[in-house]
Protein backbone atom coordinates (compact mmCIF):
# COMPACT_ATOMS: atom_id res chain seq x y z
CA UNK A 1 0.00 0.00 0.00
CA UNK A 2 1.24 3.49 -0.77
CA UNK A 3 2.41 5.53 2.19
CA UNK A 4 0.93 8.96 2.79
CA UNK A 5 4.20 10.54 1.64
CA UNK A 6 4.14 8.51 -1.60
CA UNK A 7 0.58 9.68 -2.26
CA UNK A 8 1.56 13.30 -1.71
CA UNK A 9 4.63 12.99 -3.95
CA UNK A 10 2.61 11.37 -6.71
CA UNK A 11 -0.07 14.02 -6.48
CA UNK A 12 2.54 16.79 -6.54
CA UNK A 13 3.99 15.25 -9.70
CA UNK A 14 0.58 14.97 -11.31
CA UNK A 15 -0.33 18.49 -10.27
CA UNK A 16 2.87 19.90 -11.72
CA UNK A 17 2.38 17.86 -14.88
CA UNK A 18 -1.05 19.35 -15.34
CA UNK A 19 0.38 22.86 -14.94
CA UNK A 20 3.49 22.54 -17.07
CA UNK A 21 2.31 25.27 -19.41
CA UNK A 22 2.05 27.83 -16.61
CA UNK A 23 4.75 30.34 -15.71
CA UNK A 24 7.42 29.86 -13.05
CA UNK A 25 5.72 32.17 -10.59
CA UNK A 26 2.50 30.19 -10.69
CA UNK A 27 4.40 26.93 -10.26
CA UNK A 28 6.21 28.35 -7.30
CA UNK A 29 2.97 29.42 -5.70
CA UNK A 30 1.48 25.97 -6.34
CA UNK A 31 4.52 24.24 -4.81
CA UNK A 32 4.36 26.45 -1.76
CA UNK A 33 0.70 25.63 -1.27
CA UNK A 34 1.33 21.91 -1.67
CA UNK A 35 4.18 21.91 0.81
CA UNK A 36 2.02 23.44 3.52
CA UNK A 37 -0.05 20.30 4.12
CA UNK A 38 -0.40 16.62 3.36
CA UNK A 39 -3.14 15.69 0.94
CA UNK A 40 -5.95 13.50 2.24
CA UNK A 41 -5.52 9.82 1.48
CA UNK A 42 -6.83 8.52 -1.84
CA UNK A 43 -8.85 5.30 -2.08
CA UNK A 44 -9.63 5.34 1.62
CA UNK A 45 -9.58 7.32 4.81
CA UNK A 46 -12.24 9.43 6.50
CA UNK A 47 -12.34 12.25 3.94
CA UNK A 48 -12.59 9.94 0.94
CA UNK A 49 -15.46 7.93 2.46
CA UNK A 50 -17.27 11.09 3.59
CA UNK A 51 -17.03 12.38 0.04
CA UNK A 52 -18.37 9.11 -1.34
CA UNK A 53 -21.18 9.00 1.23
CA UNK A 54 -22.21 12.55 0.33
CA UNK A 55 -21.97 11.66 -3.36
CA UNK A 56 -24.23 8.66 -2.79
CA UNK A 57 -26.84 10.81 -1.04
CA UNK A 58 -26.60 13.55 -3.66
CA UNK A 59 -27.13 10.92 -6.33
CA UNK A 60 -30.12 9.68 -4.31
CA UNK A 61 -31.73 13.12 -4.22
CA UNK A 62 -30.77 14.39 -7.69
CA UNK A 63 -31.49 11.29 -9.78
CA UNK A 64 -33.99 9.52 -7.53
CA UNK A 65 -36.87 11.75 -8.63
CA UNK A 66 -36.42 11.39 -12.42
CA UNK A 67 -35.87 7.65 -12.02
CA UNK A 68 -39.17 7.47 -10.13
CA UNK A 69 -41.01 9.41 -12.80
CA UNK A 70 -43.23 6.43 -13.60
CA UNK A 71 -45.27 7.35 -10.52
CA UNK A 72 -45.83 10.86 -11.92
CA UNK A 73 -46.49 9.38 -15.36
CA UNK A 74 -49.35 7.29 -13.98
CA UNK A 75 -50.72 10.21 -11.95
CA UNK A 76 -50.53 12.85 -14.70
CA UNK A 77 -52.11 10.46 -17.23
CA UNK A 78 -55.11 9.79 -15.00
CA UNK A 79 -55.69 13.19 -13.35
CA UNK A 80 -56.60 16.63 -14.59
CA UNK A 81 -55.44 19.04 -15.85
CA UNK A 82 -53.08 16.70 -17.74
CA UNK A 83 -55.18 13.58 -18.45
CA UNK A 84 -56.85 15.30 -21.41
CA UNK A 85 -53.41 16.20 -22.85
CA UNK A 86 -51.64 12.95 -22.00
CA UNK A 87 -49.53 12.95 -25.18
CA UNK A 88 -46.00 14.03 -24.30
CA UNK A 89 -46.12 13.26 -20.57
CA UNK A 90 -43.30 10.71 -20.94
CA UNK A 91 -41.15 13.51 -22.37
CA UNK A 92 -41.10 15.23 -18.95
CA UNK A 93 -39.13 12.41 -17.35
CA UNK A 94 -36.84 11.68 -20.29
CA UNK A 95 -36.10 15.39 -20.68
CA UNK A 96 -34.98 15.62 -17.06
CA UNK A 97 -32.64 12.65 -17.37
CA UNK A 98 -31.52 13.53 -20.90
CA UNK A 99 -30.61 17.13 -20.15
CA UNK A 100 -28.66 16.11 -17.04
CA UNK A 101 -26.67 13.65 -19.11
CA UNK A 102 -26.11 15.90 -22.14
CA UNK A 103 -25.13 19.11 -20.37
CA UNK A 104 -21.92 17.46 -19.16
CA UNK A 105 -20.43 18.02 -22.61
CA UNK A 106 -20.56 21.76 -21.88
CA UNK A 107 -20.14 21.94 -18.14
CA UNK A 108 -17.08 19.69 -17.79
CA UNK A 109 -14.81 21.82 -20.04
CA UNK A 110 -16.07 24.93 -18.25
CA UNK A 111 -15.20 23.48 -14.85
CA UNK A 112 -11.79 22.44 -16.13
CA UNK A 113 -11.12 25.90 -17.54
CA UNK A 114 -12.28 27.64 -14.35
CA UNK A 115 -11.86 25.16 -11.45
CA UNK A 116 -13.19 27.65 -8.91
CA UNK A 117 -16.46 27.79 -10.85
CA UNK A 118 -17.28 24.21 -9.85
CA UNK A 119 -16.50 24.92 -6.20
CA UNK A 120 -18.76 27.98 -6.14
CA UNK A 121 -21.59 27.04 -8.50
CA UNK A 122 -22.27 23.68 -6.85
CA UNK A 123 -24.09 25.57 -4.09
CA UNK A 124 -26.65 26.84 -6.62
CA UNK A 125 -27.65 23.41 -7.92
CA UNK A 126 -30.03 22.33 -5.17
CA UNK A 127 -31.89 25.70 -5.00
CA UNK A 128 -32.33 25.64 -8.78
CA UNK A 129 -33.76 22.11 -8.63
CA UNK A 130 -36.16 23.23 -5.90
CA UNK A 131 -37.18 26.23 -8.00
CA UNK A 132 -37.96 23.92 -10.92
CA UNK A 133 -40.25 21.77 -8.76
CA UNK A 134 -42.01 24.78 -7.27
CA UNK A 135 -42.55 26.14 -10.77
CA UNK A 136 -43.96 22.77 -11.84
CA UNK A 137 -46.42 22.86 -8.94
CA UNK A 138 -48.20 25.76 -10.69
CA UNK A 139 -48.31 24.02 -14.09
CA UNK A 140 -51.50 23.87 -16.13
CA UNK A 141 -50.05 22.16 -19.21
CA UNK A 142 -47.66 19.35 -20.11
CA UNK A 143 -45.34 21.84 -21.85
CA UNK A 144 -45.05 23.81 -18.61
CA UNK A 145 -44.06 20.60 -16.80
CA UNK A 146 -41.45 19.83 -19.47
CA UNK A 147 -39.83 23.24 -18.92
CA UNK A 148 -39.92 23.16 -15.09
CA UNK A 149 -39.89 19.56 -13.85
CA UNK A 150 -37.89 18.61 -16.93
CA UNK A 151 -35.42 21.27 -18.05
CA UNK A 152 -35.09 23.58 -15.01
CA UNK A 153 -34.81 20.71 -12.54
CA UNK A 154 -32.20 19.08 -14.77
CA UNK A 155 -30.08 22.24 -15.03
CA UNK A 156 -29.91 22.43 -11.25
CA UNK A 157 -29.05 18.75 -11.08
CA UNK A 158 -26.17 19.25 -13.53
CA UNK A 159 -24.65 22.02 -11.45
CA UNK A 160 -24.46 19.85 -8.33
CA UNK A 161 -23.80 16.50 -10.01
CA UNK A 162 -20.88 17.19 -12.33
CA UNK A 163 -18.49 18.56 -9.68
CA UNK A 164 -18.97 15.19 -7.93
CA UNK A 165 -17.94 13.32 -11.07
CA UNK A 166 -14.95 15.62 -11.46
CA UNK A 167 -13.78 15.20 -7.86
CA UNK A 168 -14.35 11.44 -7.52
CA UNK A 169 -11.48 10.88 -9.94
CA UNK A 170 -9.21 12.61 -7.40
CA UNK A 171 -10.48 10.71 -4.37
CA UNK A 172 -10.40 7.21 -5.89
CA UNK A 173 -7.65 5.98 -8.18
CA UNK A 174 -7.10 2.21 -7.76
CA UNK A 175 -10.68 1.55 -6.60
CA UNK A 176 -12.36 3.75 -9.18
CA UNK A 177 -14.84 1.14 -10.45
CA UNK A 178 -16.05 0.35 -6.94
CA UNK A 179 -16.34 4.06 -6.09
CA UNK A 180 -18.41 4.82 -9.18
CA UNK A 181 -20.55 1.77 -8.49
CA UNK A 182 -21.29 2.84 -4.92
CA UNK A 183 -22.07 6.40 -5.96
CA UNK A 184 -24.31 5.36 -8.85
CA UNK A 185 -26.11 2.96 -6.51
CA UNK A 186 -27.56 6.10 -4.91
CA UNK A 187 -29.84 6.44 -7.93
CA UNK A 188 -31.14 2.91 -7.47
CA UNK A 189 -31.62 3.42 -3.74
CA UNK A 190 -33.55 6.60 -4.48
CA UNK A 191 -35.59 4.73 -7.04
CA UNK A 192 -36.34 2.10 -4.40
CA UNK A 193 -37.65 4.41 -1.69
CA UNK A 194 -38.81 7.57 -3.45
CA UNK A 195 -41.66 5.96 -5.46
CA UNK A 196 -43.44 4.92 -2.25
CA UNK A 197 -43.04 8.40 -0.79
CA UNK A 198 -44.30 10.04 -3.98
CA UNK A 199 -47.25 7.65 -4.30
CA UNK A 200 -48.33 8.37 -0.73
CA UNK A 201 -47.97 12.14 -1.17
CA UNK A 202 -49.73 12.20 -4.54
CA UNK A 203 -52.62 10.14 -3.19
CA UNK A 204 -53.07 12.38 -0.17
CA UNK A 205 -52.13 15.87 -1.37
CA UNK A 206 -52.07 15.86 -5.17
CA UNK A 207 -49.16 16.82 -7.40
CA UNK A 208 -48.94 20.53 -6.48
CA UNK A 209 -48.32 20.02 -2.77
CA UNK A 210 -46.18 16.95 -3.44
CA UNK A 211 -43.79 18.92 -5.63
CA UNK A 212 -43.53 21.69 -3.04
CA UNK A 213 -42.83 19.20 -0.26
CA UNK A 214 -40.09 17.61 -2.33
CA UNK A 215 -38.58 21.01 -3.10
CA UNK A 216 -38.38 21.71 0.64
CA UNK A 217 -36.86 18.28 1.27
CA UNK A 218 -34.12 19.05 -1.28
CA UNK A 219 -33.19 22.25 0.52
CA UNK A 220 -33.23 20.68 3.98
CA UNK A 221 -31.70 17.27 3.28
CA UNK A 222 -29.45 17.76 0.24
CA UNK A 223 -28.05 21.28 0.56
CA UNK A 224 -25.93 20.47 3.68
CA UNK A 225 -24.24 17.63 1.76
CA UNK A 226 -22.58 20.11 -0.58
CA UNK A 227 -20.02 20.92 2.14
CA UNK A 228 -18.51 17.43 1.78
CA UNK A 229 -18.43 17.50 -2.02
CA UNK A 230 -15.05 19.16 -2.30
CA UNK A 231 -11.88 18.39 -4.29
CA UNK A 232 -8.99 16.41 -2.87
CA UNK A 233 -6.29 18.28 -4.80
CA UNK A 234 -5.70 22.02 -4.32
CA UNK A 235 -7.22 24.34 -6.89
CA UNK A 236 -4.70 26.52 -8.69
CA UNK A 237 -5.17 30.21 -7.74
CA UNK A 238 -4.85 31.27 -11.39
CA UNK A 239 -7.15 30.28 -14.25
CA UNK A 240 -5.60 27.98 -16.84
CA UNK A 241 -6.21 26.81 -20.37
CA UNK A 242 -5.87 23.07 -19.82
CA UNK A 243 -4.74 20.87 -22.67
CA UNK A 244 -6.66 17.66 -23.16
CA UNK A 245 -5.57 14.55 -24.95
CA UNK A 246 -8.26 14.13 -27.61
CA UNK A 247 -6.71 11.46 -29.78
CA UNK A 248 -9.33 8.99 -28.53
CA UNK A 249 -11.88 10.91 -30.64
CA UNK A 250 -10.18 9.37 -33.69
CA UNK A 251 -10.70 5.87 -32.30
CA UNK A 252 -13.39 3.79 -34.02
CA UNK A 253 -13.60 1.55 -30.95
CA UNK A 254 -14.56 4.49 -28.74
CA UNK A 255 -17.32 5.61 -31.10
CA UNK A 256 -18.60 2.05 -31.46
CA UNK A 257 -18.99 1.85 -27.69
CA UNK A 258 -20.71 5.24 -27.73
CA UNK A 259 -23.10 4.07 -30.44
CA UNK A 260 -24.00 1.07 -28.29
CA UNK A 261 -24.65 3.37 -25.33
CA UNK A 262 -26.99 5.61 -27.35
CA UNK A 263 -28.98 2.65 -28.66
CA UNK A 264 -29.19 1.01 -25.23
CA UNK A 265 -30.42 4.28 -23.74
CA UNK A 266 -33.28 4.49 -26.24
CA UNK A 267 -35.03 1.66 -24.44
CA UNK A 268 -33.45 1.73 -20.99
CA UNK A 269 -35.89 4.23 -19.43
CA UNK A 270 -39.09 2.81 -20.95
CA UNK A 271 -39.96 0.17 -18.30
CA UNK A 272 -39.43 2.59 -15.39
CA UNK A 273 -41.79 5.07 -17.07
CA UNK A 274 -44.50 2.75 -18.35
CA UNK A 275 -44.66 -0.12 -15.85
CA UNK A 276 -47.28 1.61 -13.65
CA UNK A 277 -49.52 2.19 -16.68
CA UNK A 278 -48.96 -1.36 -17.90
CA UNK A 279 -49.87 -2.68 -14.45
CA UNK A 280 -53.04 -0.59 -14.51
CA UNK A 281 -53.95 -2.10 -17.89
CA UNK A 282 -53.85 -5.52 -16.20
CA UNK A 283 -56.31 -4.29 -13.56
CA UNK A 284 -53.65 -3.83 -10.87
CA UNK A 285 -53.71 -0.90 -8.42
CA UNK A 286 -51.41 2.16 -8.59
CA UNK A 287 -49.55 0.90 -5.51
CA UNK A 288 -48.52 -2.18 -7.50
CA UNK A 289 -47.05 0.06 -10.19
CA UNK A 290 -45.08 1.85 -7.48
CA UNK A 291 -43.83 -1.49 -6.16
CA UNK A 292 -42.65 -2.55 -9.61
CA UNK A 293 -40.59 0.62 -10.05
CA UNK A 294 -39.13 0.21 -6.57
CA UNK A 295 -38.11 -3.39 -7.29
CA UNK A 296 -36.56 -2.38 -10.60
CA UNK A 297 -34.50 0.35 -8.97
CA UNK A 298 -33.61 -1.81 -5.96
CA UNK A 299 -32.07 -4.41 -8.22
CA UNK A 300 -30.08 -1.60 -9.81
CA UNK A 301 -28.55 -0.72 -6.43
CA UNK A 302 -26.90 -4.13 -6.21
CA UNK A 303 -26.08 -4.25 -9.91
CA UNK A 304 -24.18 -0.96 -10.12
CA UNK A 305 -21.84 -2.09 -7.33
CA UNK A 306 -21.33 -5.63 -8.65
CA UNK A 307 -20.91 -4.50 -12.25
CA UNK A 308 -18.50 -1.81 -11.06
CA UNK A 309 -16.38 -4.55 -9.48
CA UNK A 310 -16.58 -6.64 -12.68
CA UNK A 311 -15.37 -3.67 -14.73
CA UNK A 312 -12.29 -3.51 -12.50
CA UNK A 313 -11.54 -7.18 -13.30
CA UNK A 314 -12.73 -7.86 -16.87
CA UNK A 315 -12.72 -6.15 -20.24
CA UNK A 316 -15.57 -3.67 -20.51
CA UNK A 317 -17.10 -5.38 -23.55
CA UNK A 318 -17.48 -8.60 -21.56
CA UNK A 319 -19.47 -6.73 -18.91
CA UNK A 320 -21.52 -5.02 -21.64
CA UNK A 321 -22.37 -8.44 -23.11
CA UNK A 322 -23.53 -9.70 -19.70
CA UNK A 323 -25.76 -6.67 -19.21
CA UNK A 324 -27.16 -6.75 -22.74
CA UNK A 325 -27.97 -10.47 -22.75
CA UNK A 326 -29.67 -10.37 -19.36
CA UNK A 327 -31.67 -7.28 -20.29
CA UNK A 328 -32.78 -8.62 -23.68
CA UNK A 329 -33.90 -11.99 -22.29
CA UNK A 330 -35.79 -10.35 -19.43
CA UNK A 331 -37.69 -8.04 -21.78
CA UNK A 332 -38.71 -10.57 -24.45
CA UNK A 333 -39.44 -13.51 -22.15
CA UNK A 334 -40.50 -12.02 -18.83
CA UNK A 335 -42.21 -8.74 -19.77
CA UNK A 336 -43.43 -10.10 -23.08
CA UNK A 337 -45.20 -13.03 -21.41
CA UNK A 338 -46.47 -11.15 -18.35
CA UNK A 339 -50.23 -11.24 -17.90
CA UNK A 340 -50.31 -11.26 -14.10
CA UNK A 341 -48.38 -9.86 -11.14
CA UNK A 342 -45.93 -12.72 -10.29
CA UNK A 343 -44.09 -12.73 -13.62
CA UNK A 344 -44.16 -8.94 -13.72
CA UNK A 345 -42.40 -8.83 -10.34
CA UNK A 346 -39.72 -11.23 -11.62
CA UNK A 347 -39.27 -9.05 -14.70
CA UNK A 348 -38.82 -5.88 -12.65
CA UNK A 349 -36.07 -7.48 -10.57
CA UNK A 350 -34.21 -9.18 -13.44
CA UNK A 351 -34.47 -6.19 -15.76
CA UNK A 352 -33.48 -3.78 -13.01
CA UNK A 353 -30.38 -5.84 -12.28
CA UNK A 354 -29.02 -6.35 -15.79
CA UNK A 355 -30.12 -3.02 -17.29
CA UNK A 356 -29.17 -1.12 -14.14
CA UNK A 357 -25.65 -2.54 -14.25
CA UNK A 358 -25.00 -1.08 -17.70
CA UNK A 359 -24.23 2.37 -16.26
CA UNK A 360 -21.18 0.94 -14.47
CA UNK A 361 -19.63 0.06 -17.84
CA UNK A 362 -18.95 3.79 -18.24
CA UNK A 363 -16.04 3.36 -15.83
CA UNK A 364 -14.75 0.53 -18.04
CA UNK A 365 -14.92 2.68 -21.16
CA UNK A 366 -12.93 5.37 -19.35
CA UNK A 367 -10.33 2.81 -18.28
CA UNK A 368 -10.07 1.48 -21.85
CA UNK A 369 -9.56 4.97 -23.29
CA UNK A 370 -6.98 5.91 -20.65
CA UNK A 371 -4.99 2.77 -21.46
CA UNK A 372 -4.68 3.93 -25.06
CA UNK A 373 -4.36 7.65 -24.34
CA UNK A 374 -3.00 8.50 -20.92
CA UNK A 375 -3.45 12.22 -21.56
CA UNK A 376 -7.23 11.88 -22.00
CA UNK A 377 -9.10 13.90 -19.38
CA UNK A 378 -11.61 11.91 -17.34
CA UNK A 379 -13.97 14.88 -17.08
CA UNK A 380 -14.12 15.33 -20.84
CA UNK A 381 -14.62 11.59 -21.25
CA UNK A 382 -17.49 11.59 -18.78
CA UNK A 383 -19.02 14.57 -20.53
CA UNK A 384 -19.01 12.81 -23.90
CA UNK A 385 -20.24 9.52 -22.44
CA UNK A 386 -23.01 11.26 -20.52
CA UNK A 387 -24.02 13.20 -23.64
CA UNK A 388 -24.38 9.93 -25.55
CA UNK A 389 -26.67 8.58 -22.85
CA UNK A 390 -28.56 11.87 -22.88
CA UNK A 391 -29.21 11.64 -26.62
CA UNK A 392 -30.82 8.24 -26.11
CA UNK A 393 -32.77 9.41 -23.06
CA UNK A 394 -34.26 12.48 -24.74
CA UNK A 395 -35.10 10.59 -27.92
CA UNK A 396 -36.76 7.75 -25.98
CA UNK A 397 -39.58 10.03 -24.78
CA UNK A 398 -41.14 10.99 -28.12
CA UNK A 399 -40.19 7.63 -29.67
CA UNK A 400 -41.93 5.61 -26.96
CA UNK A 401 -44.92 7.94 -27.12
CA UNK A 402 -45.21 7.36 -30.87
CA UNK A 403 -44.84 3.57 -30.56
CA UNK A 404 -47.46 3.37 -27.82
CA UNK A 405 -49.90 5.57 -29.74
CA UNK A 406 -50.15 2.98 -32.52
CA UNK A 407 -50.98 0.16 -30.07
CA UNK A 408 -49.52 -2.52 -32.40
CA UNK A 409 -50.78 -6.10 -32.01
CA UNK A 410 -53.41 -5.06 -29.44
CA UNK A 411 -55.76 -8.01 -29.02
CA UNK A 412 -53.97 -9.94 -31.76
CA UNK A 413 -50.90 -11.41 -30.01
CA UNK A 414 -50.45 -13.50 -26.89
CA UNK A 415 -49.19 -12.40 -23.50
CA UNK A 416 -48.22 -8.80 -22.96
CA UNK A 417 -47.52 -8.44 -26.67
CA UNK A 418 -51.27 -8.19 -27.25
CA UNK A 419 -51.90 -5.71 -24.44
CA UNK A 420 -51.26 -2.62 -26.56
CA UNK A 421 -47.76 -2.33 -25.06
CA UNK A 422 -46.26 -4.93 -27.42
CA UNK A 423 -44.53 -2.32 -29.55
CA UNK A 424 -42.82 -0.85 -26.48
CA UNK A 425 -41.72 -4.30 -25.35
CA UNK A 426 -40.15 -5.13 -28.71
CA UNK A 427 -38.56 -1.67 -29.00
CA UNK A 428 -37.02 -2.02 -25.52
CA UNK A 429 -35.73 -5.53 -26.20
CA UNK A 430 -34.21 -4.69 -29.56
CA UNK A 431 -32.46 -1.58 -28.21
CA UNK A 432 -30.99 -3.65 -25.36
CA UNK A 433 -29.71 -6.30 -27.76
CA UNK A 434 -28.17 -3.85 -30.25
CA UNK A 435 -26.72 -1.86 -27.34
CA UNK A 436 -24.27 -4.74 -26.83
CA UNK A 437 -22.63 -4.06 -30.19
CA UNK A 438 -19.36 -3.29 -28.39
CA UNK A 439 -18.78 -7.00 -27.68
CA UNK A 440 -19.31 -7.86 -31.35
CA UNK A 441 -16.88 -5.09 -32.24
CA UNK A 442 -14.23 -6.66 -30.00
CA UNK A 443 -14.74 -10.06 -31.59
CA UNK A 444 -14.21 -8.46 -35.01
CA UNK A 445 -11.09 -6.67 -33.78
CA UNK A 446 -12.61 -3.21 -33.79
CA UNK A 447 -12.32 -2.68 -30.01
Q: Is the pLDDT of residue 357 over 80?
A: yes
Q: Is the pLDDT of residue 26 over 60?
A: no
- Residue of 35 and 73 predicted with greater confidence: 73
pLDDT of 116 reads 85
Q: What percent of the chain clears pLDDT 90, i.e. is strictly above it?
A: 42
Specify the 3-state DSSP secondary structure of 385.
helix
Q: Which helix (H) or strand (E) holds 160?
A: helix 153-171
Band of pLDDT at residue 22, cut at 50, 70 and 90: very low
Q: Is the pLDDT of residue 9 over 70?
A: no
pLDDT of 440 reads 87
CA angle (149 as vertex; 70, 71 as ends), nearest 5 = 15
pLDDT of 19 reads 44
Q: Averaged over 355-376, what is the pLDDT? A: 86
Alpha-helical segments (H) within 226-285:
252-268, 270-281
For the question of whether the overall pTM of this predicted structure is more than 0.85, the answer is: no
Band of pLDDT at residue 238, cut at 50, 70 and 90: low
| CA separation for the pair 296, 300 (Å, rounded) | 7
Q: What percent of the chain clears pLDDT 70, i.e. is strictly above it?
A: 89
pLDDT of 422 reads 93
CA dihedral 352, 353, 355, 360 (to 10 degrees): 130
| CA separation for the pair 267, 265 (Å, rounded) | 5
Q: Is the pLDDT of residue 391 over 60?
A: yes
Choose the weakest-confidence range: 8-12, 37-41, 338-342, 345-349.
Answer: 8-12
Choose the weakest-confidence range: 3-12, 68-77, 182-191, 297-306.
Answer: 3-12
pLDDT of 240 reads 56
HSE-CB for 276 with a 13 A CA cutoff: 24
Q: Are 11 and 39 in contact (CB under 8 A)?
A: yes
DSSP string, 73-142: HHHHHHSTTTGGG-TTHHHHHHHHHHHHHHTHHHHHHHHHHSHHHHHHHHHHHHHHHHHHHHHHTT--SH
| CA separation for the pair 379, 81 (Å, rounded) | 42
Band of pLDDT at residue 14, cut at 50, 70 and 90: very low
Band of pLDDT at residue 156, cut at 50, 70 and 90: very high
Backbone angles phi, psi at 304, to 5 degrees: -60, -35
Q: Averaged over 340-348, what is the pLDDT? A: 95
Average pLDDT over the chain reads 85
Note the pLDDT tens digit of each residue in 168-212: 888 888 777 778 778 877 887 888 899 999 999 999 999 999 999
Give which of 134, 141, 130, 140 is closest to 91, Cα–Cα. Answer: 141
CA angle (247 as vertex; 111, 163 as ends), nearest 5 = 20
Choose the weakest-confidence range: 64-68, 291-295, 301-305, 397-401.
Answer: 301-305
pLDDT of 4 reads 42
User: What are the residue ranges spanned by the domains of the chain?
Assistant: 46-231+246-443
Note the pLDDT tens digit of each residue in 418-437: 998 999 999 999 999 999 99
Query: 46-231+246-443: what CATH class?
Result: mainly alpha
Q: Is the pLDDT of residue 10 over 50?
A: no
Q: Is the pLDDT of residue 329 over 80?
A: yes
Long-range pairs of 244-251 with CB within 8 A, sequence gap ≥ 24: 244/112, 244/375, 244/376, 244/377, 244/380, 245/373, 245/374, 245/375, 245/376, 245/377, 246/376, 246/380, 247/373, 247/375, 247/376, 248/369, 248/372, 248/373, 248/376, 248/381, 251/369, 251/372
Q: Is the pLDDT of residue 25 over 80?
A: no
Give which of 257, 315, 252 is closest to 438, Cα–Cα. Answer: 257
Q: Is the pLDDT of residue 36 over 70?
A: no
Q: Averaged over 374-400, what is the pLDDT? A: 86
Amino acid sequence: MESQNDIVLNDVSNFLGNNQDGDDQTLGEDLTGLNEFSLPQADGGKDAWLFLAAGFMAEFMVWGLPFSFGVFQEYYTTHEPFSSQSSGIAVIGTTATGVMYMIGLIIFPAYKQWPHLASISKWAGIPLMAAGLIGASFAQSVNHLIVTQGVLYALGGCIIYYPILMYIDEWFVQRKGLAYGIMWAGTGFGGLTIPFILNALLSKYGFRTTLRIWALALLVLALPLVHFLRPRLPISPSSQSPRYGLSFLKSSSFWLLQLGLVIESLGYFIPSIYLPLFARSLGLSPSIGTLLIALLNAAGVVATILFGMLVDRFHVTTVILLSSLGTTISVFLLWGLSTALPLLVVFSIVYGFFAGGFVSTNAGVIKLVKQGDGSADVGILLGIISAARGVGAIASGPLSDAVLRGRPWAGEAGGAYGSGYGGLIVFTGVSAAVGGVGFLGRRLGWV
